[in-house]
A and B are shown apart, each in its own frame.
Chain A
Amino acid sequence: MKTTTISNSKFRRKSIVAFLVFLGCFVLAVFSLGKLKSAKPKDGTPAPLRAALETNESIFYGLFGNRLTQTYPASMAAKKVRVNGNIGMNKDFEPENWKLQVIRKPGDTLFISLEEIRSLPKTEIIFDFKCIEGWDQISHWGGVRFSDFIKKYGLDEQAAKQFTGFVTPDGGYYVGIDNKSIMHPQTLLCYELNDKPLPMNQGYPLRLIIPVKYGVKHIKRIGSVFFSNVRPPDYWHERGYDYYCGL
């Protein structure tokens, strides 16, 4: 550090300039923050922040490898599995009339019963389920791998589209999932929890288990599935959350 001697006037001028720049930046920062907060919202989030979420998505979607989620022994799985949401699961649901609707293209729907789905090869996974709220729980699920299901029903052409959409029978809850995540080998159409049929509050008869996403994407009680090159509507995305939610 150097010591120098300067005149009083030069000292005063230097100080004033420095403080004016500082003050200017301070005002600019407050102003930009105000602008950011009051920016027009896009899907429930100020547009610049939404743009940032989407930039993050393209970065991390590009880096997405088919890495497997860590799995655990069955003994570590929770006996009492946390129930966090019941949107899209109204009381007048009739399980006996349920069939999974797979919309191959508009006007061409495939109806598949639970028995048919159960007859496909079963895959089990015990993984750390992560909620967007911040809690996590090791839990044990069973069902058919989504990619196996696609193969079995000859839906490769549909599943090659950029997104897969899911909607509950009452239309109350819906999610959209990118292609790499839905075809991930640990993504299941799930009908079992801890080796027993899914309880009602966990989405009986069929729910999605997708370990590469936050819990919000693990839609319970799937009514219909469709495929699209534009983003399917997503319940929490419309309410300001990130669309991707990739882990």
Chain B
Amino acid sequence: MKKIIRKHPLAIRWLHWINFPIMGLMVWSGLLIYWANGVYKLGWGDQTVLKFFPKNFYEALNVPFRLAEGMSIHFFFMWLFAINGFFYVAYLIFSRQWKYLLPEKRSWKEAWQVLLHDLRLRKTSPPQIKYNAAQRIAYTAVILMGIMMLLTGLAIYKPVQLNWLCKLLGGYAWARAEHFIFTILFCLFFLVHVLQVIFAGWNKFQAIITGFEVVKKNDLEESPPITIAETDKTTTE
């Protein structure tokens, strides 16, 4: 016999995995487009710390002279990205799954403890239900990033028809830079996400495919739900 916990509803698993290739294609085609005017860099004055992107980065990935291809891919998959994202947010709201996802008041303090724990600087991590405090913050932030990608993208796609949006985002050139920054942030999120999945282990990874997680005995001991602590009290009385 196996004790399992139903962790990820079917809809969330589908929407998560559909998003994965779409997002990959959006970032990739975005890079093909960005190359045509790859002007962003980190630095000050004439000093460049990091150029987005170095020539050999483009050449290694065979990016040069593919602007038309990039645009046609980008403007096809943008619809799928938007629709999938819409269903994800709608599902979170109607299934009340957002309760597990949105940061709570204590999440901000706890996220710090989670970080120290994950960096092996702290022995214990705060108790959690589905997601820990850092996950709540990261997964909520990535939804907001998705929304910002859509808005900044729309602003540079139709800067005349949606002039109000373009202005709101600081003008055409700024909207383009913001679109780029959110993409970089998204890639960083992806990197950390994958690393965390690797560290979290197989049981946690397979849950986003099967939907359930196996409950091991020592799991329960490690993070006792608050209700158990309360029943303990009543027994001692």
- A-to-B contact residues, CB < 8 Å: 1-8, 11, 14-15, 18-19, 22, 25, 29, 33, 44-46, 48-50, 52-53, 56, 60, 63-65, 67, 69-70, 128, 130-136, 211-212, 236, 239-242, 246-247
Nearest-Cβ distance from residue B9 to partner chain A, whole angstroms: 10
Contacts A67-B161, A70-B167; is A1 near B76 (CB within 8 Å)? no
CA distance in complex: A187, B232 (Å): 78
Residue of chain A at shortest CB distance from B68: A240
A242 touches B72 (CB 8 A): yes
Contacts A15-B206, A45-B68; is A2 near B159 (CB within 8 Å)? no
Which of B5, B34, B158 meets A60, CB within 8 Å? B158
The answer to whether B26 has its CB under 8 Å from any CB of chain A is no
- Chain B, residues 1-23, CB within 8 Å of chain A (1/0): the string is 11111110000000001000100
Give every chain B residue within 8 A of A6 (Cβ-Cβ): 1-2, 4
CA distance in complex: A13, B100 (Å): 28
B161 touches A64 (CB 8 A): yes
CA distance in complex: A8, B33 (Å): 51
Nearest-Cβ distance from residue B6 to partner chain A, whole angstroms: 5
Give every chain B residue within 8 A of A63 (Cβ-Cβ): 161
CA distance in complex: A9, B137 (Å): 37
Number of A-B contacts (CB under 8 A): 117
Give every chain B residue within 8 A of A241 (Cβ-Cβ): 68, 71
CA distance in complex: A239, B69 (Å): 10
8 intermolecular pairs with C-beta atoms under 8 Å apart: A1-B5, A4-B6, A5-B2, A19-B209, A45-B69, A132-B67, A236-B68, A242-B71
B2 touches A8 (CB 8 A): yes
Give every chain B residue within 8 A of A22 (Cβ-Cβ): 17, 209
A3 touches B5 (CB 8 A): yes
The answer to whether B56 has its CB under 8 Å from any CB of chain A is no
CA distance in complex: A45, B76 (Å): 12
- Chain B, residues 75-102, CB within 8 Å of chain A (1/0): the string is 1100100000000000000000000100
A3 touches B37 (CB 8 A): no
A52 touches B76 (CB 8 A): yes
Contacts A44-B68, A52-B72, A133-B36; is A25 near B5 (CB within 8 Å)? no
Which of A18, A64, A67, A246 meets B211, CB within 8 Å? A18
Dominant secondary structure at the B interface = helix
Nearest-Cβ distance from residue A171 to partner chain B, whole angstroms: 22
A19 touches B75 (CB 8 A): no
Give every chain B residue within 8 A of A236 (Cβ-Cβ): 68
Give every chain B residue within 8 A of A246 (Cβ-Cβ): 158, 160-161
Nearest-Cβ distance from residue A36 to partner chain B, whole angstroms: 9
Give every chain B residue within 8 A of A133 (Cβ-Cβ): 36-37, 67
Residue of chain A at shortest CB distance from B180: A134
CA distance in complex: A245, B234 (Å): 71
Give every chain B residue within 8 A of A8 (Cβ-Cβ): 1-2
Contacts A50-B72, A60-B161; is A134 near B37 (CB within 8 Å)? yes
A49 touches B1 (CB 8 A): no
The answer to whether B55 has its CB under 8 Å from any CB of chain A is no
Given contacts A7-B1, A242-B75, A246-B160, 16 further A-B contacts (CB under 8 A): A1-B5, A1-B100, A3-B5, A3-B215, A8-B1, A8-B2, A14-B210, A15-B206, A18-B209, A22-B17, A45-B68, A52-B76, A64-B161, A69-B163, A128-B159, A131-B37
Nearest-Cβ distance from residue B34 to partner chain A, whole angstroms: 7
Give every chain B residue within 8 A of A69 (Cβ-Cβ): 160, 163
Contacts A131-B37, A240-B72; is A247 near B4 (CB within 8 Å)? no
Nearest-Cβ distance from residue A8 to partner chain B, whole angstroms: 6
Give every chain B residue within 8 A of A240 (Cβ-Cβ): 68-69, 72
B37 touches A45 (CB 8 A): no
CA distance in complex: A53, B172 (Å): 22
Residue of chain B at shortest CB distance from A4: B4
Nearest-Cβ distance from residue A177 to partner chain B, whole angstroms: 15
B33 touches A134 (CB 8 A): yes
Nearest-Cβ distance from residue A49 to partner chain B, whole angstroms: 4
Give every chain B residue within 8 A of A44 (Cβ-Cβ): 68
Nearest-Cβ distance from residue A180 to partner chain B, whole angstroms: 12
Residue of chain B at shortest CB distance from A239: B68
B71 touches A19 (CB 8 A): no
Contacts A52-B75, A134-B36; is A7 near B2 (CB within 8 Å)? yes
